[in-house]
Amino acid sequence: MSAAEEAARALDRDDPLSALRREFAVPPWRGGPQPELAYLAGSSLGLMPRAVPDAVAADLEDWATLGVQGHSGARQPWLTYHEATRETSARLVGALPGETVCMNSLTVNLHLMMVSFYRPTRDRYRILIEDAAFPSDSYAVASQIRHHGLDPDTATIRLRPREGERTLRGEDVVDRIEREGPTLSLVLLGGVSYLTGELLPMAEITAATHAAGAVSGWDLAHAAGNVPLALHDWGVDWAAWCSYKYLNSGPGAVAGCFVHERHACDPSIPRFAGWWGNDLSRRFRMSPVFEARPDVEGWQLSNPPILSFAPVRVSLEIFDRVGIEALRRRSLRLTGFLESLLREAAERAPLTVITPADPEARGCQLSIEVPGDAVEVARRLRDEHGIVCDERPPNIVRLTPVPLYNSFHDVWRAADGLVQVLGASAPPSR
């Protein structure tokens, strides 16, 4: 056993949160020398909490035994099922209970929020996004701009890093907002970049956005459950996130949405309307007149998918019990250990970490530039070394030590396997 592997084993033994791993179903490595895969793909799809099957089975049993009466008589009544996640999701993102709701999917929620908060005028009509934004965000923004009869080429501002750099600088983002201020309607950025793992200074950017007279929206797909957030205190206007990555709620899971109380309690804000957003006291009067609920739930359209909601409820309960601050501390240790191993590996293998070195400027993901085809590198890591990672062609591999279920030994296996796959064998120089 190498000194690095021994160090990983010792870190796991001394870590009081290492026991959390037992609450998740870690995929087996069938036929491999280790019983389990080293699963470092949580930035793409989180692992299943072991409590999920029983939670889903309970909902199925209620359906089987109660039929339509389950709306009021189920163990978790379907009529108010989504309310079981109200406070846990709010605490996770630093919000008030009336500011968060679990509903729809991420891109649907982005569209619903832009219907309400992208209201272009002759002078203020532009949306600022990252040039490397996740494609779905770019599609949503362009289609919203076209919906208002505008040209995405002139109404979209795309932020790029400085020449020769791979990530944005917070001060450059703020400077661009200030310079474009008079034409800005909406600033929509990712809290954590899906590609590089960079964590933007959200509080400062939100403040600059408001000072420029624009609306602040955030895509938190890679931030929710990854880093501590304070959406209410930062004054964020709205945000949306998925729950199948760091929130471990299953593929295509029900997403989350935040609207600050200064907007959430304003029924005059234009929105698309649906039955479940109607004031609860009037919902079953079956009136054709829509009266929005006086909180973020007024943006709901349809009744929640109950069988898909159980994993969200289970996952958020885990976060609520452990606490995002404790998970962040463990995340910093795990990712710091991975970074130190990769720094040493870079002396023997052609790899470059493009995620910021400052721990406060990143989440738990490290993005690594590799020579050749990232898809092939990821395949060899999985098939030859039992390491599941995520790749972004042409040459980016993402390794994500998730503090809820990854171990320091997983981290060591990932770094060691990457060196072997990249074909290096020379000892590190000293």
Residue found under tokens 């039955």? 275
Res 430: pLDDT: 31
Give kind and range of the element (H or E) at residue 216. strand 215-219
Q: How is residue 383 written in tokens?
A: 């098939």
Tell me the domain boundaries of the chain.
3-36+324-421, 55-321
In this structure, which amino acid lies at residue 413? R
Written as one letter, the residue type at 143 is S
Q: Encoding tokens for residue 406?
A: 């990854």
Report pLDDT digits (tens) over 187-207: 999 999 999 999 999 999 999
With a pLDDT cut of 70, the percent of the chain lying above it is 98
Note the pLDDT of residue 1: 81
What fold is seen in the domain 3-36+324-421?
Aspartate Aminotransferase, domain 1 (3.90.1150)
Handedness of CA 233, 236, 240, 242 (dihedral sign): negative
Distance in angstroms (rounded) separating the CA atoms of residues 219 and 256: 10
Q: What is the per-residue pLDDT for 427?
A: 39
What is the rounded average pLDDT for all residues in the chain?
95
Contacts of 146 (CB under 8 A, 6+ apart): 152
Amino acid letter, residue 162: R
| Confidence at residue 267, expressed as pLDDT on a 0 to 100 scale | 84
- 55-321, what's its fold? Aspartate Aminotransferase; domain 2 (3.40.640)
pLDDT of residue 41: 98
- Phi and psi angles of residue 80, each rounded to the nearest 5 degrees, phi first: -120, 20
Reduced DSSP (H G I as helix, E B as strand, rest coil) percent helix, strand, coil of the chain, to 5: 45, 15, 40
Mean pLDDT, consecutive 10-residue stretches, the chain (430 aa), reads 94 97 97 95 98 98 98 95 95 97 98 98 98 97 98 98 97 98 98 98 98 98 98 98 98 97 92 91 86 93 94 97 98 98 92 97 98 95 97 96 98 97 54
pTM of the predicted protein model: 0.95
Please tell me the predicted confidence (pLDDT) of residue 429. Answer: 38
Q: Decide if 183 contacts 124 (C-beta within 8 A).
A: yes
Question: What is the rounded CA–CA span in Å between residue 429 and residue 129?
Answer: 42
Please report, for the chain, how many H helices and E strands are present, in that order: 15, 15
Could you give the CA distance from residue 101 to residue 302 in angstroms, rounded to a whole number?
A: 13
